[in-house]
Chains A and B, each alone.
Chain A
Amino acid sequence: MTVGVIGMWVLALGALFLCLRRSPSVARRAVGEAGTSLTRVAPVMLMALPMAAFVAELIPDGWAERWLGPDSGAAGVALATLAGSVLPGGPFVAFPLVLGFLKSGAGPAQMVALISGWAVLGLHRTLSWELPILGPRFILLRLSASLVLPFLAGMAAEALLPLFPGAALR
């Protein structure tokens, strides 16, 4: 986990240095914009993070294992894709929730399908951002071109799973 954090900060400081070399005012603007984004993201995040933890407590014992478990196969992958596509909210909801699912027995391949379904099909993001900015025709084109892909990602994960033994968190 620290690798990701360190990598992020090395990249961030490197980019900031490039800004600084262009001119101090560009660097100041970058820091200012980062601060603005933080104040915008933080309230939503602080409200959303506990939601995933509460939902994880509410999942009945054995539910994830039964419907989305490693043995649920293609049906589980399809169900997970569907669940991902209706999952609202940003990464602060999706990833903690997937962590909860994995810990309560969901299969990694099914969770790959869930994240892919959320990322590619996510109705919430499509309706609240894509529709007002790019319009219905773009959504039609994008969904037609990508509808089956999350399912394929899940099936690919099922095939590749033996290579990643650490992917199952229990």
Chain B
Amino acid sequence: MLRRHATFIVISLLTLSAAVAVLLLRGEAAFRHALEATWGLIVTVAPSIIGGLLLSAALRQLVPPGALARWMGAESGLRGLLVATAAGMAMPGGPVAAFPVVLVLAQAGADRGALIAFVLAWSLNGFQRILVWELPILGTDFALLRLLCGLPLPVLAGLLARWLPIRWTPEDAPAFKPAPDKGQ
């Protein structure tokens, strides 16, 4: 709650200082130009944002996040990393939604390589963000190029994470609760 307001306040302050700087340094015409560009962006992304929020809310009702974890254990090999990558890309919503899901997956048995692949696939290649933001704003060619270059990274990171001697278990997480419904 507090964190959300903090984000809003910080962003508002940054926006206001940028607005003042544009007025002082670039003049009124540039200021108006920026506002027009903003309006254009809002018109571009509003329909897909509403659709995207509806989609993520509906998916949350349909798919229990722990359901996929049994394919993501330490012995799951490359297939586990691929499942984790696909799940991460399909994971809708922002960090508020995604990081708790990592914890759920970990408690349900996913290994650290799969967890890292999941986080990276979500943050790099989450399809919701691509459809809502990247495609409408930056265009098909750029979005495809970016996706193509990002596609192998989650699997690479997962392999590296399995190889690195850094252990992490759900008990290390501050948000860890020894849930009674563990391993659902």
Contact = CB atoms under 8 A, between A and B. Distances in A.
B164 A29 contact: no
Given A53-B38, A120-B124, A141-B168, A95 B22 contact: no
B179 interface: no
A103 B109 CA distance: 46
Contacts of A134: 99, 102-103, 172-175
Contacts of A111: 142, 146
A145 B116 contact: yes
Contacts of B102: 133-134, 138
Contacts of B78: none
Contacts of A49: 38, 41-42
Interface residues of A, number: 93
B131 A7 contact: yes
Contacts of A33: 57, 60
Contact of B157 (A3, A4, A146): A146
A88 B10 contact: yes
A1 B157 contact: no
Interface in A131-170: 131-135, 137-138, 140-142, 144-146, 149, 152-154, 156-157, 160-161, 163-167, 169
Given A53-B37, A145-B116, 18 more contacts: A4-B131, A4-B136, A8-B48, A8-B51, A30-B57, A31-B57, A34-B54, A54-B34, A57-B30, A137-B166, A137-B167, A144-B160, A144-B164, A144-B166, A145-B157, A145-B161, A164-B141, A164-B144
